[in-house]
Structure formats: structure tokens, C-alpha cells
Amino acid sequence: MDPRREHDRFVTRRHFFGRSSAGIGAAALASLLGPDLTAGKKTAGLPGIPHFAPKAKRVIYLFQNGAPTQVDTFDHKPELEKLRGTDLPASVQGGQRLTTMTQGKSQKVLPSISPFRQHGESGQWISDLLPHTASIADDICIVRSMYTEAINHAPAITFFLTGSEMPGRPSYGSWLSYGLGSENDELPTFCVMTSRDKEASCGQIFYEWYWGSGFVPTRHQGVKFRGSGDPVLYLSNPAGLGRKLRAGLLDDLAELNRLKYQQVGDPEIITRIAQYEMAYKMQASVPELADVSTEPQHVLDAYGPDVMRRGSFAQNCLLARRLAEKGVRFVQLMHAGWDQHGNLPTQLAIQCRDTDQPSAALVKDLKQRGLLDETLVIWGGEFGRTVFCQGDINNKKAHGRDHHPRNFCLWMAGGGIKGGANYGKSDDFSYNVAENPFHVHDLQATTLHLLGIDHQKLTYRFQGRDFRLTDVHGKVVKDVLA
């Protein structure tokens, strides 16, 4: 990068106003550079966005890292019981690529390890492993025809969250922060919390790029709240630094940085000024947010026994609701532990128990507060799992299911999604999509649509190309909309 050219790009007045919809948001910049740096509650997004009236104002993404099995949770295939232990027909497998873990091994059909029942007025089929999710059957839309391109965790998660299997693109929350701006300048627009199963039974890593900002300005990056110590690293002032003095010195520092910005025009300086400002505000707003002891007992109880354990999925779900109440645009929860290659019969029930109640409680809690209509909740992983058994089908202590990108399930609720509905169908083996395929880019296009964004128009020019979350794909699936 040539700094002089960067300078020219960013300080030409004509450039600012002429390219405002593709470059850094002129309105956002004006509000950051102006004297009332701290006055406004909202920071505008790009001009012209939303493109049309939104149904949802924000998103809570309950990302289930490791890939939940659809066979044992949402994709009911009772006929498979008759085929237990038989080879998966070659016509179904169709010569598709498998992971190296099951390539060339036998593929014996392993039906669901749990019975299914119909729930709610809508009669949705849900596994007994998810009794609490079953209680919100009429609020959710279950997609039973999800499919993706990737077959390993990190590329598949990156694909869901950034629209590309390769790291480096802006993540979903960054796009929303960039496009829609912020509704609360006391908290980050995009917050992230991670948790994992207590047994730490699989080795999934939360890579920072899952909430990275790629090439959009870095102030749109997700801020991760930690499960122990300071919720945000180094949020507390060290000994001997008073808050009042801090405020004054931060003003001075902003002024120094602004002088530099006027000289060199690097937009990352604006990001830095904004970040210091945000960090200062978070010193007050985050401890208040993280203090769940102010919640009434019945609310705490609803989220289940783990709610008071910091860093648990349950507490993160409760915090997600508190963030939604404060207008945070995108809350990304990530819970690892779904990768049951060799411990499905022993681990899946535990995994479901840790996530089922908090997820359902969040939807009910939002609904009870009148927030569900404007908050889109998404629950799902990066791919599904094979209907055939990995490992010895006769040894319940040591078998499971392998990665399966061809067909899996995901649910959404609120924010303009049709409740008590389902979309798409898999074949008799829960192996291939049989009806209404729903691609990852379709999910992105559809959910952006709910936020009032035409996914083809939210773009950012980088290295000579207009990039977007849905790359050059994606269609809005109207059938899942209320």
C-alpha cells in the first residue's frame, strides 16, 4: 500500500461525498470527527441503508461449533430403524467426497439414537433430546435442507460467518455494523461470546477471524467478551489511574490522533480514536451489563442450572438478551462440542442438555419482552453429520458420526421469520437434499433481507472488486418469511 495514494483517497473532499456509499460512511465519519464525539446515541450506517423497511433490527446468532447431528435432533427418519446396520446404498452416497476419517471404511446406517415426537400446534418433529426447543416449536422455522461447500470445521464456519471458506473477509456482524451503524454508542455494535462443553470433548478452536472485519474499517470488528476475569481484556483501570483523569487524557489523545489523521488521512486512525472512546464507555457499560445478579430469580431459573457460571452457554444466552435490549446489532454466541465422531451415544445428550434450555429460554425471554419480533435468532452449526456410523456400530461407547455438508438442519426465530414452520426436505437417508435446497449464501441473503438489506447492494470495494457477504450467489427464500 502506498501511503500517499491512501492519503489522496481519503482526504479529497469530493471523494468523501462522491463515494460515500462504497467508501467509509460519510455520515459515520462526520459524527466521529465532529465536536460532539460522545453526544449522539446512534451512529449512522451507510446512506441509503436500509434499502427497504426492515423486519428485524438485530441478530443473535447461536452458532453451534462442531456441527450438530441433524439425524438425532431435527430430521426425523423413522424408516431408518429397519435399515440399522445395513450399508448405505451407493446410489444415495453417490460417490460424494468424504473426509479422510471415513473414506474407504464401511458405511453402516445408524438411525437416530433418540425418539422423536411432534410438538406444538404446528406439530414439528423434534427429538426428545431437545425438550426445551420442543416447547418453542411454534416460534421457530426449521430448515431441513441446509447444505454447504466445506467439509471441515474452520473453512465451514468461516463460510457461514464471512461468506468465504478462506479467512480474511468481513464477518456477518461487521457487515451489519458497517451497513446499518450502531444503535447504542455505549457498547460495541458487534459482540461475541464463546463457550464450550464442560468435558472439552473436542478440540475446536475459536479463530479470531470468525468475528474479524476483513477489509472494512476495523471498528466494525466483533468485540469478544471473555468468560473469566475482566469481560473485556484490560477493561479495569490499573492502580493509580482515576477515571476522571482518564477522560481528560483520552480527549487529549484523541486530539493528537486527529492531528495525525488530518496529515495522513489513514481511516484506521479514526478507528483508533473511536476504539479508545468505546473502551472508556465500556468501562462503565460492560460491568453493568455483565452483572446478572439483578435479574429476577424466575428469569435466571428459565436459563437453566448453568446460568450463574460465567462463560457458560446459559449465561451467554442471558447476556445476549441483555445486549439485545440495549440495541446491540449483532450478538454472536459460539458453543463448541458438537463434533461427536466417536462419542455420540455418550456425549450428545450432555451437549443437548447444555444448550437446549438456554436457547429456548432466550427465545421465550425475548418474546415475553416484546423483542422477538425485531430480533432474529439463528441456531445452527457449520454442517451436519453422516447418517452412517463412524467406528464400530456395535460399540456404543466408541462410535459416532462423521462430517456431512450435503444436508443438515438449522432453525430461526423472530425478526420476520415464520414461526411453527419448516422448509425443505432431505431424502430417506437424511443424506441429500430432496426438496428446496437452502444454501449458506441463501441464509445470508434471506437474513440480510429481514434487516432491510438487499444482499447484492451491500458491497465494499477492495483491491478493485466490489465484495459482498454473499459473494456472487445467494437468493432470498421468501417461504420462510412471516
Q: Which residues bind other proteins (CB under 8 A)?
A: 3, 234-242, 244-245, 248-249, 252-253, 255-257, 259-261, 264, 266, 268-269, 272, 276
Q: Among residues 19 and 260, whose Cβ is nearest to other proteins?
A: 260
Residues forming a β-bridge with 425: 435
Q: Among residues 251 and 325, whose Cβ is nearest to other proteins?
A: 251
Distance CA 218, CA 270 (A): 10
Q: Among residues 206 and 276, whose Cβ is nearest to other proteins?
A: 276
Sequence-separated (6 or more) residues with CB below 8 Å from residue 34: none
Smallest gap from Cβ 209 to other proteins, in A, equals 20
Written as nine digits, the cell of 446 is: 434471506
Q: Among residues 33 and 205, whose Cβ is nearest to other proteins?
A: 33
Written as nine digits, the cell of 101 is: 476419517
CB burial readout 241-264, b (16+ within 10 A) else e = eeeeebeeeeeeebeeebeebeee
Q: Among residues 104 and 238, whose Cβ is nearest to other proteins?
A: 238
The total of other beta-carbon atoms located within 10 Å of residue 97's CB is 8
Assess contact for 137 and 81: CB atoms under 8 A: no
Q: Among residues 268 and 428, whose Cβ is nearest to other proteins?
A: 268
Could you write out the DSSP letters of every residue in 232-281?
Answer: STT-SPPTT--HHHHHHHHHHHHHHHHHHHHHH--HHHHHHHHHHHHHHH
Distance CA 363, CA 413 (A): 7
Distance CA 145, CA 417 (A): 16
Q: Among residues 101 and 259, whose Cβ is nearest to other proteins?
A: 259
Q: Among residues 272 and 399, whose Cβ is nearest to other proteins?
A: 272
Smallest gap from Cβ 271 to other proteins, in A, equals 9
Smallest gap from Cβ 26 to other proteins, in A, equals 21
Distance CA 122, CA 131 (A): 15
Smallest gap from Cβ 188 to other proteins, in A, equals 17
Q: Among residues 35 and 238, whose Cβ is nearest to other proteins?
A: 238
Q: How far is CA 435 from CA 70, 331, 419, 424, 432, in A?
A: 16, 31, 20, 5, 9
Residue type, 210: Y
Smallest gap from Cβ 199 to other proteins, in A, equals 33
Q: Among residues 262 and 368, whose Cβ is nearest to other proteins?
A: 262
Strand-strand pairing, 330-336 and 58-65:
parallel
Nearest to 431 by CA among 381, 385, 389, 379: 385
Distance CA 223, CA 225 (A): 7
Smallest gap from Cβ 185 to other proteins, in A, equals 21
Smallest gap from Cβ 269 to other proteins, in A, equals 5
The total of other beta-carbon atoms located within 10 Å of residue 458's CB is 25
Distance CA 127, CA 78 (A): 11
How many residues are listed for the chain in this entry? 482
Smallest gap from Cβ 239 to other proteins, in A, equals 4
Q: Among residues 235 and 348, whose Cβ is nearest to other proteins?
A: 235
Smallest gap from Cβ 246 to other proteins, in A, equals 9
Smallest gap from Cβ 262 to other proteins, in A, equals 10
Smallest gap from Cβ 380 to other proteins, in A, equals 37
